[in-house]
Amino acid sequence: MRVSLVLAAVGLTAALSASPASAQSITFPAQNFQGGNTDWQVTLSTQDDLSVNYSLQAPQVKNALVGALEQQTAPQGQYQLTGTFGGKQTPLTVSIAPVKLGQVCKDNKGKTGSRQGPYTYAIQVIPQGAQPSAQSKPWPSYLYGCGNFTD
């Protein structure tokens, strides 16, 4: 019994003193992501510095909103990006997750794909606390849609 306790203590000490495995770096894919729904569209593209640029066309604004997003920690296989938009620098969060096996992502018209093929990801764009201005209409609490990474 005493020998097994000593071996367990030595094993635990070795495990705690070992250098931790390096965390997997968060990397948004190099391919562009195109997504949205019937009334809004977004394109996300990775830059050389690993930031992600966005172009968001929505009914709330006349011209596309453009800007940069930073990659955040997300569950494996998913992407979480944050940034700002508009003159008031409103916080913006973009979440992308793969469509679960056996399920489909549908847009507002019930379509499950585009010319790039079946939608493989769901996307949610959250304009946190966006207020209407002279240049925009009221924003919903979030925009939900589907999309794909493209070549």
Sign of CA dihedral 68, 131, 57, 31: positive
**126, 147, 70, 31 alpha-carbon torsion, rounded to 10°:** -170
47 to 85, 136, 145: CA distances (angstroms): 18, 28, 23
Task: Give the span between the Cα atoms of 31 and 71, in whole angstroms.
Answer: 15
pTM of the model: 0.78
Specify whether the CB–CB gap between 65 and 55 falls below 8 A.
yes
**Band (138; pLDDT cuts 50, 70, 90):** confident
**Band (139; pLDDT cuts 50, 70, 90):** confident
Flag whether pLDDT at 71 surpasses 60.
yes
Q: Mean of the pLDDT values across residues 84-103?
A: 91
**Band (85; pLDDT cuts 50, 70, 90):** confident
CA 10 to chain CA centroid, nearest Å: 42
Helix (H) or strand (E) holding 97: strand 90-98
**Band (79; pLDDT cuts 50, 70, 90):** very high
Flag whether pLDDT at 20 surpasses 50.
no
